[in-house]
Chains A and B, each alone.
Chain A
């Protein structure tokens, strides 16, 4: 691809980011999103580099601060399609407060979170979504904190669109992202992805074995059941958990 040639892509071979990038390109293509009116906003981290590799406008700001910048952009020019793309550390750690309030604000923005449950760019420390017991050079006895549950938090705050996807399933992930972008209001898509370098626990294989899709007939319009499903931890459900209004 042209972009791939133009850039020395900064990701490790086999990284889940490649899959998400390719999926995003298909989304843009299939939804006929006009690159001239499409703005990607990202923070800092390996995932946050994704917009560099797309033919779009981008605002690659500060670690944790993608959401407020996106709110400013969308509010200043509502004709733009605004997509935030960043990692779990950026969105749920450094930017946690903005995550909560962006949900409350319900600006028409789609937030795509590359969630690999580890800090990649800073070389392997725990992230807010790291599982308990996950050992790192910093958490030498393993993570002792409860993992942050972005879906449960989002549903609790009555986010208007809440979904989880798995980077290893390009087709379904693409459909979920399309639904999120099509949704009018603030949409959160948490995309599970492996970090092949620093997370030896949550691998492609692990995700395949520990996730499943919400069953056919599941209604995403019931907030209480969405919350219940978001709390499931034995196996992680995938799909659209919650949508509090139909897309216009």
Chain B
């Protein structure tokens, strides 16, 4: 591809050490590019360390909506030489490489001593603003807008700081203009329609969904990549009346949240695989006591500590089978940021309605990826009231037609609310009466057919008369969709599941007439493909990735092409 050719989008990658301020550049550039009228997508991959190493952030801009990560890099901005090696396979001959690196690096080299220039202005931190200035000037964005942005951002820190930032921006523009003399950068037309939109990531969407779902209690133990949701809710706790507790461990966290639901709150835990493994006993307690709970499980590569800051979709089975014994559950896996909001909001209501655990299954890539999108005012956010005022004679586990017993809470009404982790009778007293045991098991499972009645149908993209089918779940949504769009393959449809359990019966309609189907997921064994086989008998092909990085659009296109050509 020639750089001066018209592109639908430009992919910019910023790479450097942890602690060099890549996140600052990401935030600043994304904000400025948004203000310049572009649709912006940003995602990061980073090492499990606080300083040093090699981290990178991808920013894609387009006049059209852009929501997926690509392997392609049009402009590579290097803040630290040592960080180039790891992504060198992605540098092509047309990649414009700018910044601090040694001679002989692949691509079109434009070395700029960012740190030295920043020091001239007074502080190495200005390297970030210089870098942003270079990018903005390459994209032909007029200097006034970023100047205003900096004035707003740093105004509180005084005139001197604002002045230094503007000087750094100028340095960036000077260098950008110099680079443009010997290089051409593709033109991407801004959309200009997105300036009123939200620009948030998966983490914030889960947090906002929780607030919309009436969450007023969250207890957790920090664990990447799920901690962001906890921090987000902590930041909103005063505004929205949310109790936020950092528990001593995940076991404590899940039991606190169950206690909170028992007493009338709406609570959630946010954790990752290892932390969730510790919560499993609590999930089983939720199952037995029929106490609602919402669990946000942000996946990362495992076993054990694995790759703490990276992405994988290998905890589906963990969520699916977590907890000893048998009891129903619901598992959502949002693929779009707006779905993370809606599904989390819905999770609180379904947990409350059916008195079961409801999971939001995300992953590092999803949580750390941003894009602009319309605000949520048009989405349904009604919260149901499921708590009953108890009468003087109250049976917490009353046998009913639906298996759902009216749920009372202590202090609301005249009845006593007795819940027990032992098998119990309708009153909540421990029992070893085998007849009651049998009825209680059946009572708990009676809820499943009701839950199945309101399963969210998978989202289908493609022609009605497709031959082949690609199946995805969770965060791969946009990547698969864009890959299929770029392939232009009219024979292949795409079916995406944002609810992975219960699966529902809709899938059978698709599989009944398909020639060839593949499930794409970020794991080795094909956990969702296995679930589909278990539920439908259909054995789909498996396309996996488990190196800790998300699929790129190009990856998926290439793998699908090979798969459907019978390769």
Residues of A within 8 A of B (CB): 7, 10, 35-37, 39, 41, 44, 49, 52, 55-62, 65, 67-77, 79-80, 97-98, 100-101
Contact = CB atoms under 8 A, between A and B. Distances in A.
Contacts of B416: 35-36, 55-57
Nearest to B267: A72
Nearest to B255: A68
B386 interface: no
26 contacts: A35-B416, A37-B411, A52-B418, A59-B289, A60-B420, A61-B258, A61-B421, A62-B255, A68-B255, A71-B259, A72-B255, A72-B257, A72-B260, A73-B410, A74-B263, A75-B217, A76-B243, A76-B260, A76-B261, A76-B262, A76-B263, A76-B264, A79-B411, A98-B248, A101-B247, A101-B248
A77 B260 CA distance: 8
Interface string B77-116: 0000000000000000000000000000000000000000
B206 to A, nearest CB: 21
Contacts of B422: 60
Interface in B273-318: 281-282, 285, 289
A55 B414 CA distance: 12
What secondary structure prevails in chain B residues at the interface with A?
A: mixed
Contact of A97 (B252, B258, B262): B252
Given A62-B421, A69-B256, A71-B245, 11 more contacts: A39-B263, A44-B421, A56-B416, A59-B259, A60-B420, A62-B282, A62-B285, A68-B256, A72-B258, A72-B265, A77-B409
Given A61-B258, A69-B259, A72-B256, A36 B411 contact: yes
Nearest to A101: B248
B429 A76 contact: no
Q: Which of A37, A60, A76 has the most CB of B within 10 A?
A: A76
Given A35-B416, A101-B248, A73 B262 contact: yes
Contacts of B54: none
A61 B285 CA distance: 7
A84 to B, nearest CB: 11
Given A57-B410, A72-B217, A72-B219, A80 B252 contact: no
A185 to B, nearest CB: 17
B429 A73 contact: no
B333 interface: no
A247 B157 CA distance: 47
B410 A68 contact: no
A67 B219 CA distance: 14
Interface string B4-46: 0000000000000000000000000000000000000000000
B76 interface: no
Contact of A75 (B243, B418, B419): B243
B84 to A, nearest CB: 45
Contacts of B261: 72, 76
B249 interface: yes
A182 B259 CA distance: 22
Nearest to A40: B418
B327 to A, nearest CB: 15
Q: Which of B262, B263, B428 has the most CB of A within 10 A?
A: B263
Contact of B255 (A39, A44, A69, A100): A69
B248 A57 contact: no
Nearest to B411: A37
Contacts of A39: 263, 410
Contacts of A65: 251-252, 255, 281-282, 285
Contacts of B118: none
Contacts of A97: 248-249, 251-252
A68 B243 contact: no
B150 interface: no
A14 B409 CA distance: 35
A79 B414 CA distance: 15
B417 interface: yes
A57 B418 contact: yes
A39 B260 CA distance: 12
Q: Which of A7, A61, A70, A71 has the most CB of B within 10 A?
A: A61
Nearest to A99: B248
B253 interface: yes
Contact of A41 (B245, B249, B259, B417): B259
B243 A37 contact: no
B186 to A, nearest CB: 55
A72 B429 CA distance: 22
B161 interface: no
Nearest to A60: B420
Nearest to B413: A36
Interface string B202-216: 000000000000001
B249 A80 contact: no
A80 B409 CA distance: 11
B259 A72 contact: yes
Contacts of B216: 76
Contacts of B248: 97-98, 100-101
Q: Which 7 residue pairs of A and B lie closest in terms of their CB atoms, listed nearest first?
A: A72-B259, A69-B259, A68-B255, A72-B256, A76-B265, A101-B248, A76-B263
B534 to A, nearest CB: 30
Interface in B146-167: none
B249 A77 contact: no
A77 B255 contact: no
B547 to A, nearest CB: 36
Contacts of A75: 217, 243, 245, 256, 260
